[in-house]
């Protein structure tokens, strides 16, 4: 026996929201598929889920069968869309200069700069690129972000280590007149 009852777009959207919320998100298949692409994507699964659910809801609330619904933007604005690429360029272009500054403080603490965890080096170089090249971002905001990144993606003691080294680098850059923001 087949069912020929017509449903509205709002009912269909609600159905797919429930499927996504109760079956897809909690299931292992989506997490495994994302992990096969990148081990870091699962960290954003809850954010992705929120965006998908909001988008489906917007389709259901549409007055024109979804034709007027636009997908949520990938970035807040044009400045946000350029940020990642510019940050990467600054980090790569100035890598040697930033690394030398970092190493000078690592060596002062009688650590061997060559034995730094690769992720710690990447985090500190990127932090320096942000601190030195994005004047609108306060130093404290940058420091907090990169310490959180270190705590999540590097060794257990990396957050404290990176905090100490970057704090020393920042003070040195201020003394040299190369860093003027607060």
pLDDT of amino acid 31: 84
Structural contact between residues 23 and 53, judged by C-beta atoms closer than 8 angstroms: no
Confidence of residue 1 (pLDDT cuts 50, 70, 90): very low
**Separation between Cα atoms, residue 87 and residue 96, nearest integer Å:** 15
**Separation between Cα atoms, residue 122 and residue 132, nearest integer Å:** 15
pLDDT at 2 over 60: no
- The pLDDT tens digits of the residues spanning 118-161 come to 899 999 999 999 999 999 999 999 999 999 999 888 888 889 99
Q: Which two tokens stand for residue 109?
A: 């603490």
User: Residues 95-131, buried b or exposed e (16+ Cβ, 10 A)?
Assistant: beebbebbbebbeeeeeeeeebeeebbbbbbbbbbbb
């Amino acid at each position: 026996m087949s069912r020929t009852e017509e449903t509205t777009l709002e009912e269909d959207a609600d159905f797919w929201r429930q499927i996504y919320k109760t079956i897809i998100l909690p299931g292992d298949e989506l997490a495994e598929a994302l992990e096969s692409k990148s081990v870091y994507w699962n960290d954003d699964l809850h954010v992705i889920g929120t965006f998908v659910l909001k988008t489906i809801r917007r389709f259901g609330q549409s007055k024109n069968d979804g034709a007027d619904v636009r997908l949520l933007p990938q970035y807040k604005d044009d400045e946000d869309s350029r940020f990642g690429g510019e940050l990467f360029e600054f980090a790569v272009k100035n890598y040697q200069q930033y690394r030398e500054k970092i190493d000078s403080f690592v060596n002062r603490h009688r650590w061997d700069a060559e034995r730094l965890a690769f992720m710690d080096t990447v985090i500190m170089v990127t932090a320096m690129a942000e601190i030195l090249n994005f004047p609108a971002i306060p130093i404290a905001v940058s420091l907090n972000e990169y310490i959180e990144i270190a705590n999540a993606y590097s060794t257990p003691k990396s957050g404290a280590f990176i905090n100490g080294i970057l704090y020393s680098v920042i003070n040195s850059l201020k003394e040299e007149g190369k860093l003027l923001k607060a």
